[in-house]
């Protein structure tokens, strides 16, 4: 009796071992990827669930949230005038690093130059952003201190937008003027994306104050908190508003003007052509948050730069 039990045990033993090994191997198998390319959701990181092994044979990924196709976001068109100077590439680099993090953004970079420069062309080609590269020189007579800057460049950006959308029904879009030296928070883009006609928000470090802002009562703009020329119809910096593409297209003549435009009045002169103060849509929590700063880069000290090229290599800066 005893030997019969032993015999059975020894016959079964290898099978038991095989089953144990099989089970072990199966659970060590690498988990097949959920999607052809790994999908990293910031909300899933660090959650234990994501690390549970998948049950084979069961309905795949049933309990996992699948990446949903994004509903169509309005395109944000950023018009940036830019001109050649020692800090230009640094400014554009900071800007591209911000814009690259914004979904559905189209960068319209307009050089203040008679031709597209190699530096900017190369830069844009590697920027990893949907972009359009334009150029128009500022006439020499307007290149004087005290006169508005970048008038022709912003108008070139507007003309390109109007031309591009000339024949098709306007896709949802929002335009704003992004000078190359300002600092933009990512939250700003979420705010401006919902612009219906013209939206406004505070701007930091401008007008001789820590900030300027539209004053809001019951959801409407009723005035301006500013330290400089409070008589401006729209006492707002270029960085403080966005306009829907629809408004740009339905006001084909609205442009920045040289003639009769006083310093600091460019914004007002432009906005007067497309909207009224009552119509403005306050953003950034009823204009109580600063999401953009009118930073200005210090002029670089090149006092020790040699007159003639001395280095053994030529480096783009």
One symbol per residue from 176 to 195: x for binding Mn ion (CB under 5 A), - otherwise; what is it? Answer: ---x-x--------------
- Smallest CA-to-CA distance from 296 within 179, 140, 166 is with 179
* Of the candidate residues 180, 191, 212, 269, the single one contacting ligand UGA (CB under 6 A): 180
Alpha-carbon distance of 280 to 201, in angstroms, equals 10
The CA-atom distances, in angstroms, between 294 and each of 81, 108, 121, 257, 282 are: 15, 20, 26, 22, 19
Q: Is 300 in the site for ligand UGA (CB under 6 A)?
A: no
Report residue 199 as tokens. Answer: 């939206």
Which of ligand UGA, Mn ion, none lies near 112, with the C-beta cut-off 5 to 8 A by kind? ligand UGA
Whether 187 is catalytic is no
Which of Mn ion, ligand UGA, none lies near 148, with the C-beta cut-off 5 to 8 A by kind? ligand UGA
Quick one: which segment of 45-53, 92-100, 115-123, 141-149 binds ligand UGA (CB under 6 A)? 141-149
Q: Is 82 in the site for ligand UGA (CB under 6 A)?
A: yes
One symbol per residue from 188 to 217: x for binding ligand UGA (CB under 6 A), - otherwise; what is it? Answer: ------------------------------
Quick one: which segment of 31-39, 56-64, 178-186, 215-223 binds ligand UGA (CB under 6 A)? 178-186
| 255, 167 contact by CB (below 8 A) | no
Instruction: Label the pairing between strands 281-282 and 198-200.
Output: parallel
| DSSP per-residue string spanning 15-39 | HHHHHHHHHHHHHHSPPPPSSSS--
Which of ligand UGA, Mn ion, none lies near 138, with the C-beta cut-off 5 to 8 A by kind? ligand UGA
Instruction: Label the pairing between strands 183-184 and 292-293.
Output: antiparallel
Alpha-carbon distance of 142 to 209, in angstroms, equals 28
> 173 — phi, psi (to 5°)?
-160, 160
- Give the footprint of Mn ion on this chain (CB under 5 A): 179, 181
User: Which residues are identified as catalytic?
Assistant: 267
- Give the footprint of ligand UGA on this chain (CB under 6 A): 80-83, 112, 138, 143, 148-150, 153, 179-181, 237-238, 266, 294, 296
């Amino acid at each position: 009796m005893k030997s019969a039990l032993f015999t059975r045990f020894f016959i079964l033993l290898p099978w038991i071992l095989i089953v144990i090994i099989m089970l072990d191997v199966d659970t060590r198998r690498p988990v097949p990827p959920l999607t052809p390319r790994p999908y990293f959701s910031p909300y899933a990181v660090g959650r234990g669930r994501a690390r549970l092994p998948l049950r084979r044979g069961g309905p795949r990924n049933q309990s996992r949230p699948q990446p949903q196709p994004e509903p169509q976001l309005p395109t944000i068109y950023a018009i940036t005038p830019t001109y050649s100077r020692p800090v230009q590439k640094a400014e554009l680099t900071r800007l591209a690093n911000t814009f690259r993090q914004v979904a559905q953004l189209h960068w319209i970079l307009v050089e203040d130059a008679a031709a597209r420069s190699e530096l900017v062309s190369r830069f844009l080609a590697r920027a990893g952003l949907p972009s359009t590269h334009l150029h128009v020189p500022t006439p020499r007579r307007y290149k004087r201190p005290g006169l508005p800057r970048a008038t022709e460049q912003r108008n070139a950006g507007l003309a390109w937008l109007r031309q591009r959308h000339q024949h098709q029904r306007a896709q949802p879009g929002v335009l704003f003027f992004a000078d190359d030296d300002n600092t933009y928070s990512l939250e700003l883009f979420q705010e401006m994306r919902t612009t219906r006609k013209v939206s406004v928000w505070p701007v930091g470090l401008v007008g001789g104050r820590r900030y300027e802002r539209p004053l809001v009562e019951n959801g409407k703009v009723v005035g301006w908190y500013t330290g400089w020329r409070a008589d401006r119809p729209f006492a707002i910096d270029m960085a403080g508003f966005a306009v829907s593409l629809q408004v740009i297209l339905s006001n084909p003549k609205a442009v920045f003007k040289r003639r009769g435009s006083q310093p600091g009045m460019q914004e007002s002169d432009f906005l007067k052509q497309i909207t009224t103060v009552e119509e403005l849509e306050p953003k950034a929590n009823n204009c109580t948050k600063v999401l953009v700063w009118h930073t200005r880069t210090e002029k670089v000290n090149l006092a020790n730069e040699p007159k003639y090229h001395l280095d053994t290599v030529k480096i783009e800066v």
